[in-house]
Amino acid sequence: MAANYWASTQRRYWLFSREKLAEVRERLRDRDKVTHSQFPLPDQRLLNVYFNQQLIKLGKRMSTRQQAIATAQVYLKRFYTKNEIRQTNPYLVLTTAFYLACKMEECPQHIRFVVGEARGLWPEFITPDVAKLGECEFALISEMSSQLIVHHPYRTLSELQPELPLSSDEVALAWSVINDHYLTDLPLLHPPHIIAIMAIIVAVVFKPSHPGGFPGSAQTALAGAMRDGSGMNMLAAALGDNSGAGPPRIHKLVQWLAESEVDIKAVIECTQELLSLYEVWEQYSEKHCKELIGRMVKSKNLDK
Amino acid sequence: MALSPFASRSPSVAISSPNTALRLKAAAAQPAAGSAMSAVPAAHAHSELTEQLNDSVARNYERGKKLGEGTYAVVYQGRRRDTAATVAIKKIKVNADYKDGLAMDAIREVKYLQELSHPNVIALHDVFSKHENLHIVLEFLPGGDLEMLIKDQDIHYGAADIKAWMGMLARGVWFCHENFVLHRDIKPNNLLIAADGEVKLADFGLARSFADPYLNMTHQVITRWYRPPELLYGARQYSGAVDVWSMGMVFAELVLRVPFVAGNTDLDQISKICEAFGTPTEENWPGVTQLPNYIPTDGSHIIPASGRDFFLRQFPTAGPVGADLLMSMCALDPRKRTTALQVLQHSWWTIDPRPTEKEALPQKRKSAEKKMGDDLSRRGGELPDDSPFKNAARQLDFGAMK
């Protein structure tokens, strides 16, 4: 983290309203309707799941920090608010986002190493020519108007842990929820502290009975709990009135929230977004994403 | 981040249900195959559009004469067409057809200057690409830099002037630290002077944000004469105290008009620091012997830490209160060193003499523009060519570049 979020370029230029974001994307689509109908792609969130998995694979041998992966995901989102995905080779873009994010999060990797790894994973889509990545880096920086610092919710979570306080299980679950929010549009829609608080609430309210294992994502742990509704009702009740309803642990958290003057409506909206991510995730098929993207890149010669 | 910083845990997704609703939700709302436009021209139309946005920025600047050229950038004077304001345009040399990616220096510079806006930090106006080069449009600072003023024997300045310059420097550094940015290359020739006399912190090519606790950073930063003892001893975890030391060295140099501790090698730098301020020991700096590159001094050569008398004697121009401030900035133990905020809160600023108004500060005009060009095109950590070790470029190996 650097600089002040409130004065940051993230807040000034990369925070959209839902309507604005839809409008931006619609404009991109309108520029090239034919390609759009020719090359259907999965739901954006499923694509995000796919991209995230690819980024994790790419970063695996470089023991990349989670934060660099998160930054890369935000770069992808920013880039694709300015460029139609169907005009790009997503494998090159995501490799570049990864490469740039590593530099930005102070864990730089050599360009050759990154290209080598990417070629190992997607030989059909990445050429051995490192200049391609260098060129794409340039494009990525330009498209993002060289606004490169991304503020993440992880730090807010770490800072709030002793204050609330949160158990290590709760922190681990909230951490995974934050990982998951990069699969949605939330990083473009809400400031990081709102996301962190959403993650904390979700972790405390839906704390699953089997602690200890949220490998990366909270999806398996939370999808069921959130869907069955009782948790959501409890959450709604708790947030709706702080008269002391619900378990004391949640009551305490809600009271803290009320005093914090955090935008509770925004927090609830984020929770719903997460819930719908977990719903749509059930349809995810890595193979299907891979095929659709592959077909698009190949038939449009975007890999050249 | 304090928690689990590794991404190697992959999300456990093992669902593969038949994909029914895979079309982009919004795409479904579109008429299936609409316009007569073919895909190819549309693609071009689009890429042109993003280029146009960039071009409109690029067109707004007119490039003038070259101000300086360095290893990684060329600096030109330029003019904004809409406001006719003079600017400096720093063209980053993209090395060998993108083969190495964009230089970390350029990235750091853009990254931080985009976010930091303060009267004592050089302003970044725009960034654009043209002819496949990255151009950084910076505030034009025609007044040269502090190094010029220090070296120019024809310029006379006094305690009030030093106080004014130091005040501007301290505010700039404080602002960076307040925003969790370490500058890591504070020295007189990175302190540029605006037309109105305002001092601006420039060259963020070595800057970085504060590391998360327990993560390592490189110790190969800050030009040697301004490098604090903890970095010379190879500390990988450090704080804003490194910049405060450099600030102290600038303060000392402003008073003495020569660099105060100017070692020829890193080892020489350590011994010069010991001579000036005393030998770091476990007593005055608990833990120092554990630093990776710590060099033990045998008992007979230990120089006792310099007391107040030393600073009073050495820096009479600063006055007793100023000497106190300088002493607190030069504490060997970084934990005992004053912080940028404490520097600003020091009583030296409010006692006589009052700092000179910036417009009334001594200035130099002649060839100062060229100086800006040289300063901005130099790589971080490098010294000007006339320095005794002109090839002492920073050695940053890739793995250590943190």
User: DSSP readout, B160-177?
Assistant: HHHHHHHHHHHHHHHHHH
Pick the CATH number of B57-139 from 3.40.50.150, 3.20.20.60, 1.20.120.1080, 3.30.200.20: 3.30.200.20
Residues facing residue B86 across a β-bridge: B79
What predicted TM-score, i.e. pTM, was given to this entire model? 0.81
Statement: residue B67 has pLDDT above 70: yes
Provide the 10 A C-beta neighbour count for residue A161: 18
Q: Which residues in chain A are closer than 8 Å to B39, comparing Cβ atoms?
A: 32, 34-35, 38, 300
pLDDT score at B122: 95
Q: Are B219 and B208 in contact (CB under 8 A)?
A: no
- In angstroms, the Cα distances linking A304 to A88, A132, B42, B50 are 10, 9, 18, 20
Alpha-carbon torsion angle B258, B334, B201, A140, nearest 10: 140
Integer Cα distance of B193 and B165 in angstroms: 10
Statement: residue B6 has pLDDT above 50: no
Least confident range of A146-160, B17-31, B72-86, B243-257? B17-31
Provide the residue ranges of all domains of chain B, joining segments of one domain with +: 57-139, 146-400
| Interchain pair B104, A282: CB under 8 A | no
- Taking domain A5-150+284-299, whether its CATH number is 3.30.420.40 is answered by no
| Interchain pair A36, B27: CB under 8 A | yes
| Interchain pair B31, A33: CB under 8 A | yes
Residue among B8, B46, B178 minimizing CB distance to A31: B46
Superfamily covering domain B146-400 = Transferase(Phosphotransferase) domain 1 (1.10.510.10)
pLDDT score at A113: 92
Q: What rounded mean pLDDT belongs to chain B?
A: 80
- In angstroms, the Cα distances linking A23 to A65, A82, A145, A166, B348 are 34, 12, 20, 39, 56
pLDDT band at B166 (very low <50, low <70, confident <90, very high): very high
Active-site position among B105, B145, B161, B185: B185
Nearest CA among A78, A57, A80 for reference residue A69: A57
Integer Cα distance of B339 and B329 in angstroms: 8
Is B398's Cβ below 8 Å from some Cβ in A?
yes
Closest-CA distance, A54 to chain B, in angstroms, reads: 10
| Interchain pair B8, A60: CB under 8 A | yes
Question: DSSP letter at B303?
Answer: P
Residue B67 assigned ligand-binding role: yes
Statement: residue B349 has pLDDT above 70: yes
Residue among A8, A52, A175 minimizing CB distance to B4: A175
**CB pairs below 8 Å between A and B: how many?**
252
Q: Which residues in chain A are closer than 8 Å to B50, comparing Cβ atoms?
A: 82-83, 142-143
pLDDT score at A245: 53
Statement: residue B36 has pLDDT above 70: no
pLDDT score at A225: 66
Statement: residue B1 has pLDDT above 60: no
pLDDT tens digit sequence for B220-248: 889 999 999 999 999 999 999 999 999 99
Q: Closest residue of A to B110, CA-based? A: A146
The dihedrals phi and psi of B17, each to the nearest 5 degrees, come to -90, 160
| Interchain pair B15, A87: CB under 8 A | no
Domains A5-150+284-299 and A154-281 share a fold: yes
pLDDT band at B137 (very low <50, low <70, confident <90, very high): very high
| Interchain pair B11, A133: CB under 8 A | no
| Interchain pair A53, B10: CB under 8 A | yes
pLDDT band at B103 (very low <50, low <70, confident <90, very high): confident
Q: Which residues in chain B are closer than 8 Å to A296, comparing Cβ atoms?
A: none
| Interchain pair A138, B102: CB under 8 A | yes
Residue B68 assigned ligand-binding role: yes
Integer Cα distance of B122 and B201 in angstroms: 6
Statement: residue B217 has pLDDT above 80: yes
pLDDT score at B68: 82
Closest-CA distance, A91 to chain B, in angstroms, reads: 17
Residue among B1, B38, B117 minimizing CB distance to A67: B1
- Taking domain A154-281, whether its CATH number is 1.10.3470 is answered by no
Residue B218 assigned ligand-binding role: no
Integer Cα distance of A101 and A141 in angstroms: 11
Query: For this structure, is B185 an active site residue?
Result: yes
Least confident range of A246-255, A289-298, B166-175, B307-316? A246-255
Provide the 10 A C-beta neighbour count for residue B400: 13
Per-residue pLDDT of chain A (304 residues; tens, 9 = 90+): 456 888 899 999 999 999 999 999 999 888 888 888 888 888 999 999 999 999 999 988 787 888 999 999 999 999 999 988 988 899 999 999 999 999 998 888 899 999 999 999 999 999 888 888 988 888 898 889 889 999 999 989 999 999 888 888 889 999 999 999 999 999 999 999 999 999 998 888 877 655 445 556 777 667 666 666 666 666 666 666 555 556 777 778 888 888 888 888 899 899 989 988 988 988 899 999 999 999 888 888 777 6
pLDDT score at B82: 87
Provide the residue ranges of all domains of chain A, joining segments of one domain with +: 5-150+284-299, 154-281
Q: For B16-115, where are the alpha helices, taking DSSP H only? A: 25-28, 39-59, 104-115
% pLDDT > 90, chain B: 49
Domains B57-139 and B146-400 share a fold: no
Integer Cα distance of A110 and B143 in angstroms: 39
| Interchain pair B5, A67: CB under 8 A | yes
Closest-CA distance, A168 to chain B, in angstroms, reads: 10
CA angle A5, A176, A111 (to 5 degrees): 70
> Taking residues B288-304, what's their average pLDDT?
87
Is B153's Cβ below 8 Å from some Cβ in A?
no
Is B310's Cβ below 8 Å from some Cβ in A?
no
% pLDDT > 70, chain B: 78
Q: Which residues in chain A are closer than 8 Å to B6, comparing Cβ atoms?
A: 63-66
Q: Which residues in chain A are closer than 8 Å to B102, comparing Cβ atoms?
A: 134, 137-138, 141
Residue type at position A72: A
